Amino acid sequence: MTDGQKKADDVLSPLPEALAAKLRAANGDEPAQAAARYDLDGAGRYLDGCLVLTDRRIGSFVRRDGAWDEQWLATERLGGAVLIEGLGMGLLRLLVDGAVAAEYRFSQRHAKEVARLQRRLERRIEKKEEADSPDEPRGDEKKVRCDKCQRVIPPWSEMCPACLSRRKVLSRLLDFVKPYKWQAVTGFVLAVLFTLAGLLRPGLVKPMFDRGLGTATGRPDYRLLLILVAQLAGLMVFQSLASAVRQRLMAVLAARVGRDIRLRTYEHLHKLSLSFFSKKPTGSLVTRITNDSDRIWDFVAFTVIESVISTLTVLGVAVAMIVLDWRLACIVLLPVPLMLLLTVVFHRKLHGGFDRLFHRWSMMTAVVADALPGVRVIKAFSQEKREVDRFGVKNSDVYAGEIGMISLWTLFEPVVQFCTHIGTLLVWIVGGWWAVTGRMTPGTLMAYMMYMGMFYGPIHMIAHIDRMLNRAAASVQRIFEVLDTEPGIYSKSAARPVGELAGDIELRDVTFSYDGIRKVLRNVSLSVKAGEMIGLAGPSGGGKTTMVNLICRFYDVLEGSIRIDGVDVRDYNVEALRHRIGVVLQEPFLFHGTVAANVAYGNPDATIGQIIAASKAANAHDFIVGFPDGYDTVIGERGHTLSGGERQRISIARAILNNPRILILDEATSSVDTETEKLIQQALDRLIANRTTIAIAHRLSTLRKANRLVILDKGRVVEEGTHEELAAKDGGIYAKLLRMQSETQSIIAVGSG
């Protein structure tokens, strides 16, 4: 099979197999390059439809009465491919000579694949695409169905639970255990010795009864009894010591593995792009680092060794019982098949149950993580009861899930216990009869009873170990879902180091979409000279914040490129590039800690003199020294103990200390009073000197000092010029926004007067 055939097969994989086979057979010389499903007709009724894009045509297929009706349209005739978003549905409209040639409606389940096909078709129409450059799925798109079994993937999982190999998942833990392999080997050796010592103990009981107490010979041998008792005591002491050392070794090993997993996961989270965090609830990620790592610690510390001990014990005891009396051994083994069957049945139910329970836990944690940072808003609107009720619903869901799981494994244990009781009763009846009639010595019966207790006990443990394996496998799966997520934004292996930047910025035909459907920026081109200050303005949702996010490389462009000093930002080292860019946000984020630590967050090696100098430049020094502990004053989480203006000036001091070459101001003065705005503006004037500055503002008066203004609307640059030029432009968006703000301020002034 050629590479082209493989690519065509990959494109056709979402389509029904009968249609895919038909297309492969009919279009061998014109392979499919993009495909998508659509499922609504013009009246909103469901249908089974597919779109297929080849080198020269786009085809529509609709299944009717088991057959596929097809219609083809040459792409060279198309003048446009428009994607229209609706409430709960979307529409793909194909245009020929300005008129609508075809329309295809689809529900949200097919929105992303239709959007990919539309992007491809649009590039084809604009002559920006080569025939052999297939549109690959975006890496951050979650699959709806499993490629292997075609089952729907639940919302609480990144992969198909039905195809999850528990053995393969848990075996990946070995990567974290390898650095401590000798500690693990020592623990396993002690576990084996502990098991062997346990197997020897019943072997001493038989001669103690038969010869030491004389139950078989009729004459007690107290000397032999004392020797056997001493040997038994020695085995007990050895088992106690081996158990203590083993448990400490494995607990320390598990603690180190848990530490490494938490560190690796947290470190990897910081490598992931913002798009990952926008799709993952905070509570879910916190639960993975805390609860899941704790379960893995418990699994490594106890479950692994206990499973080894239990397995060795069951095998060793089975051999010993067969050697003692194979007939009684058969009686003991009678309940085992039923116990194994019950274990398999309950295992399947428990595995899915633990995954669903984790999802409920993460949803509950997400409510807490969402509410606590916004506690001020909650109290301001007196919504405490509402938030408590919201948490109560999620808490009840967790409780219901836990009750369901408890019902399963508490039912399982008594049933298994009953099976063991049947075996015990049968051994007492048969073995007791044989001992009374002389076919078996009392010592043999006692040793047998001890072995039988040792045999059924580990089977109970293995049943519980299976539950622990399920929980650990689910936790490991969730941890590795994070670790296996490739960073969307990363430095290339041959990334260029970032030296002293001049600060020239150029956007070339930049197009971007967050979800792969709605384009936030469309073919934006813009040039900013080093040291120049430009202002970004325009209606909300125009793409201003998105543009600066792309310059900071929080996201990568979908099409086009962004260049700084003539170099594509994707060719720079990400960390070094961001260190050269300073950002002052509308809502500055401060960490729990001292004022000095927050000012020096971007430059932790800064001296106190540098921190004070930056604070003075930001007009923050005067209010900082007014605190009881000055620069050592501990501010609350997110800086809630400070006013908005104080937080903003500390944020500006942080940017000044970092000494960036490119400065991003995102609504830096929009939420403060006039007096504070004046102080902040003075600080900003010092900050922007000799730096390339991009300022976003809705309060347009703050942009008067900009060299140029760029007005964005619906993802496009619609106006560009100085404040005076745009203000004098009749019918312009900037002039309209100025007029609206002036009218609003007049109304406010009249009201306050």
Whether residue 601 is found in the same domain as residue 553: no
What is the rounded CA–CA span in Å between residue 731 and residue 739? 11
Give the tens place of pLDDT for each residue, 599-624: 888 888 888 888 888 888 888 888 88
Give the tens place of pLDDT for each residue, 578-596: 888 888 776 777 887 888 8
Q: Which two tokens stand for residue 460?
A: 């109970």
In this structure, are residues 660 and 580 in contact, taking their beta carbons and an 8 Å threshold? Answer: yes
Whether residue 314 is found in the same domain as residue 463: yes
In this structure, are residues 647 and 635 in contact, taking their beta carbons and an 8 Å threshold? Answer: no
Position 37 pLDDT exceeds 60: yes
User: 720 lies in a domain?
Assistant: yes
Would you place residue 10 in the very low, low, confident or very high pLDDT band (cuts 50, 70, 90)? Answer: low
User: 107 lies in a domain?
Assistant: yes
Position 481 pLDDT exceeds 60: yes
Residues in CB range of 446: below 8 A, 6 or more apart = 205, 206, 209
Query: Which amino acid, 475?
Result: S
Would you place residue 700 in the very low, low, confident or very high pLDDT band (cuts 50, 70, 90)? Answer: low
Position 384 pLDDT exceeds 70: yes
User: 163 lies in a domain?
Assistant: no
Would you place residue 420 in the very low, low, confident or very high pLDDT band (cuts 50, 70, 90)? Answer: confident
Q: What is the pLDDT of residue 132?
A: 39
Q: What is the pLDDT of residue 138?
A: 40
Could you tell me which of 112, 279, 113, 249 has the C-alpha nearest to residue 182? 249
Query: What range does the domain containing 727 cover?
Result: 499-580+662-681+690-753
Could you tell me which of 231, 296, 233 has the C-alpha nearest to residue 261? 296
Q: What is the pLDDT of residue 486?
A: 74
Q: Which residue has the higher pLDDT, 25 or 388?
A: 388
Give the tens place of pLDDT for each residue, 623-654: 888 888 888 888 866 666 787 778 888 888 88
Q: Is the entire prediction scored with pTM above 0.95?
A: no
CATH code for the domain in which residue 105 is found = 2.30.29.30
Q: What is the pLDDT of residue 466?
A: 65
Residues in CB range of 675: below 8 A, 6 or more apart = none
Whether residue 273 is found in the same domain as residue 185: yes
Backbone angles phi, psi at 165, to 5 degrees: -90, 110
Q: What is the pLDDT of residue 160?
A: 58
User: 72 lies in a domain?
Assistant: yes
Q: Which two tokens stand for residue 509?
A: 């035909």
Q: What is the pLDDT of residue 150?
A: 53
Whether residue 209 is found in the same domain as residue 95: no
Give the tens place of pLDDT for each residue, 306-358: 778 888 888 888 888 788 777 877 777 777 777 777 776 776 676 667 767 77
Residues in CB range of 558: below 8 A, 6 or more apart = 119, 511, 512, 513, 519
Would you place residue 156 in the very low, low, confident or very high pLDDT band (cuts 50, 70, 90)? Answer: very low
Would you place residue 289 in the very low, low, confident or very high pLDDT band (cuts 50, 70, 90)? Answer: confident
User: 377 lies in a domain?
Assistant: yes
Whether residue 375 is found in the same domain as residue 309: yes
User: 158 lies in a domain?
Assistant: no
User: 383 lies in a domain?
Assistant: yes
Q: Which two tokens stand for residue 431?
A: 């073995």
Position 381 pLDDT exceeds 80: no
CATH code for the domain in which residue 471 is found = 1.20.1560.10
Give the tens place of pLDDT for each residue, 499-551: 778 888 898 888 888 766 677 888 888 888 888 888 888 887 788 888 888 88
Q: What is the pLDDT of residue 378?
A: 77
Pairing, β 593-594 against β 634-635: antiparallel
Looking at the chain, the whole-number percentage of residues with pLDDT higher than 90 is: 0
Q: What is the pLDDT of residue 554?
A: 84
Could you tell me which of 302, 239, 310 has the C-alpha nearest to residue 456? 310
Average pLDDT for 660-686: 70
Q: What is the pLDDT of residue 36?
A: 85
* Domain endpoint, select from 69, 102, 125: 125
Q: What is the pLDDT of residue 630?
A: 86
Position 724 pLDDT exceeds 70: yes
Whether residue 285 is found in the same domain as residue 403: yes
Per the structure, the count of domains in the chain is: 4
- The residues facing 83 across adjacent strands are 92
Whether residue 401 is found in the same domain as residue 275: yes
Whether residue 319 is found in the same domain as residue 433: yes
Whether residue 555 is found in the same domain as residue 608: no
Q: What is the pLDDT of residue 400?
A: 84
Q: Which residue has the higher pLDDT, 27 or 594?
A: 594
Whether residue 669 is found in the same domain as residue 650: no
Whether residue 559 is found in the same domain as residue 603: no
CA torsion sign, 180 to 185 to 186 to 187?
Answer: positive
User: 15 lies in a domain?
Assistant: yes
Query: Which amino acid, 289?
Result: I
Residues in CB range of 614: below 8 A, 6 or more apart = 599, 606, 653, 654, 656, 657
What is the rounded CA–CA span in Å between residue 158 and residue 477? 9
Whether residue 477 is found in the same domain as residue 565: no
* Domain endpoint, select from 439, 455, 483: 483
Looking at the chain, the whole-number percentage of residues with pLDDT higher than 70 is: 80
Q: What is the mean pLDDT of the chain?
A: 76
Q: What is the pLDDT of residue 161?
A: 56
* Domain endpoint, select from 69, 90, 125: 125
CATH code for the domain in which residue 736 is found = 3.40.50.300
